[in-house]
Amino acid sequence: MVLEIKKISKNFGGIQALTDVSFSVEEGEILGLIGPNGAGKTTMFNMITAMYPPSSGVISFVGNPLSNLKPHQITEKGICRTFQNIRLFSDLTVRENVMVGNHCRLKTNVMQSVLRTKAQKAEEARVLATSDEILEVVGLANDKETIAKNLSYGAQRRLEIARALASRPKLILLDEPAAGMNEKETNDLFNLIKKIQTLNITVLLIEHDMPLVMRVCSRIIVLNFGKKIAEGTPSSIQNNKEVIEAYLGVEEEDELA
Ligand SMILES: Nc1ncnc2c1ncn2[C@@H]1O[C@H](COP(=O)(O)OP(=O)(O)OP(=O)(O)O)[C@@H](O)[C@H]1O
């Protein structure tokens, strides 16, 4: 088991965002975390990545509780994420954006950088090579020198994933990666998520694009009003009465396909 969520609750003042949610993420799987708007999905990501602590419950990563860690320590342990809205360094090149993502794996210090020691030069070469490999994986190898803001929307979203991958994670959390994408971009994203799986990286995916979720995930967890209402294979989720009811009457984009 890569990640274990055990009886997690979170309240913000009077708002109960999550209540006693438990589930596990198995090594190598692509697990979907779905639910109507406000169900608590992003709150779950924010707790896994230590943006804020749970009100109660325990989150464990490869058997170790993640309590009392800072977000950068979570990254060092091997969990990375992308966000709902694009958060690139828009005036840096594609390659520079990925190099920044590699930061947490650097071993040389500021003094070594200033003095341009041998170790520092070797590390710089390693970062460059790793960044280029990752850009190859996400299909941006020909755009290394492009300024991030000049990429197409779909390519910018793939660059975000590349930056997350640069931290060399065991687990990647993707928060609505298909949001705003056209059909071709979504299809490219499907292929990319599958490719990430082949790199031995486990995927936890929040997504409103139901056809994509049903196609790419091996298992799905459904939240509604902060509670887990279902867990199972895509076909069992599609036919689950409580899940269908939870999605009835919500915005069109949320509807189960
Ligand atoms: N920092 C916060 N302060 C106060 N309330 C919050 C905070 N973050 C989330 N909430 C509330 O917690 C509930 C769950 O929100 P969350 O963003 O986790 O839902 P979601 O399932 O990700 O929704 P969406 O699909 O719209 O992104 C909502 O009622 C939201 O308003």
Q: What is the pLDDT of residues 179-217, one digit of tens each?
A: 999 999 999 999 999 999 999 999 999 999 999 999 999
Of 14, 8, 23, 10, residue with least CA distance to 221: 23
Name residues contacting ligand 1 (CB within 6 A): 12, 15, 17, 35, 37-43
- Note the pLDDT tens digit of each residue in 119-172: 777 778 888 889 999 999 999 999 999 999 999 999 999 999 999 999 999 999
DSSP state of 144: T
Helix, strand, or coil here: 18? Answer: strand
176 C-alpha vs ligand 1 centroid, how far in Å? 14
Residue 54 has a CB neighbour count (10 Å cut-off) of: 23
Half-sphere exposure of 95 (CA within 13 A, CB side): 16
DSSP state of 151: S
* β-pair partners for 46: none
Predicted local confidence at residue 50, as pLDDT: 96
* Phi, then psi, of 129 in degrees rounded to 5: -65, -45
Please determine, for residue 252, whether its predicted confidence score (pLDDT) is greater than 60. Answer: no
The residue extents of the domains of the chain are: 1-78+169-257, 89-167
Predicted local confidence at residue 119, as pLDDT: 73
- Percent of the chain at pLDDT above 90? 81
Please determine, for residue 19, whether its predicted confidence score (pLDDT) is greater than 80. Answer: yes
Predicted local confidence at residue 122, as pLDDT: 79
145 C-alpha vs ligand 1 centroid, how far in Å? 37
Predicted local confidence at residue 108, as pLDDT: 63
Composition of the chain by helix, strand, coil, percent to 5: 40, 25, 35
ipTM of the complex: 0.96
Name the residue at shortest CA distance from atom 6 of ligand 1: 12
Name the residue at shortest CA distance from atom 8 of ligand 1: 43
The stretch 227-232 carries a mean pLDDT of: 97
Residue 48 has a CB neighbour count (10 Å cut-off) of: 22
229 C-alpha vs ligand 1 centroid, how far in Å? 17
Question: 1-78+169-257, what's its fold?
Answer: Rossmann fold (3.40.50)
Of 123, 117, 45, residue with least CA distance to 79: 45
**Atom of ligand 1 minimally distant from the CA of 45:** 18
Query: What b/e string do you get for 168-177 counting C-beta neighbours within 10 Å, with b at 16 or more?
Result: bbbbbbbbbb
**Atom of ligand 1 minimally distant from the CA of 43:** 18
- Note the pLDDT tens digit of each residue in 34-61: 999 999 999 999 999 999 999 999 999 9
Mutation choice for ligand 1 from 12, 52, 223, CB with most ligand atoms inside 8 A: 12
